[in-house]
Amino acid sequence: MRAQTNCGIWCCDKTRMSDIAEDETSFYSNAEDYWRDVSPTVDGMLGGYGSISSIDLNGSKAFLQKFLGEGEGKTGTGCALDCGAGIGRISKRLLLPLFHTVDLVDVTQEFLDKAKTYLGQDGQRVGNYFCCGLQDFAPEKGRYDVIWIQWVIGHLTDSHLVEFLRRCQSALRPNGLIIIKDNVAYEGVVPDEVDSSVCRELGIVRKLVGQAGLRIIHEEQQMNFPKEIYQVHTLALR
């Protein structure tokens, strides 16, 4: 979650990803340290904006349901992957109601431990809990109908994001989809020194998607979020 105001909290200076790539070790370790201290709650997952969770999930459901079902080109509902899953906020209210099996991956073990209780009875349909940073995570080839990547691409360098998307493409079932939902900057790349991440402008995200060998088949802006939050866009990729 990114707010675009209050530069004392959200750093508003543009940067180059090449600068970050030169110090990848601290870029990733600082992010792990940040999330280790975050409360394992919905409000914690959303940076204090827990009140927007229902708006977010309703928008995501409407977006995703455009592609699910039977017929030519439709995406199956067998198995989904929740990337940067946290405590399972998205798995609980979006993915588990729509898919038979869901896997969760997150860099913070405490969040995954919390997910096992937070998901309740539906958690019995979780196939795997993977504790791993996405820069190192290799999803099983041909396993997933949908790979959902929300509010986490800013924790990857450009090269690692491209490589991860390529691995995700190999992990898709026929007619499978990769969904990216994230904040986009108005211009360039905006660093957040608090959680050690970046917010990229939409054009840069599109370029990286193309470098991964994927194409955008549909794109929407999430509406009805607070004005102080950067725009959020959802992209469906194949």
Residues at the binding site are 84, 89, 106-108, 134-135, 150
Cα–Cα–Cα angle for 197, 169, 101, rounded to 5 degrees: 90
Alpha-carbon dihedral of residues 91, 92, 98, 100, nearest 10 degrees? 80
Residue numbers in the known binding site for S-adenosyl-L-methionine are 84, 89, 106-108, 134-135, 150
Q: CB-hemisphere CA count at 13 Å for 133?
A: 19
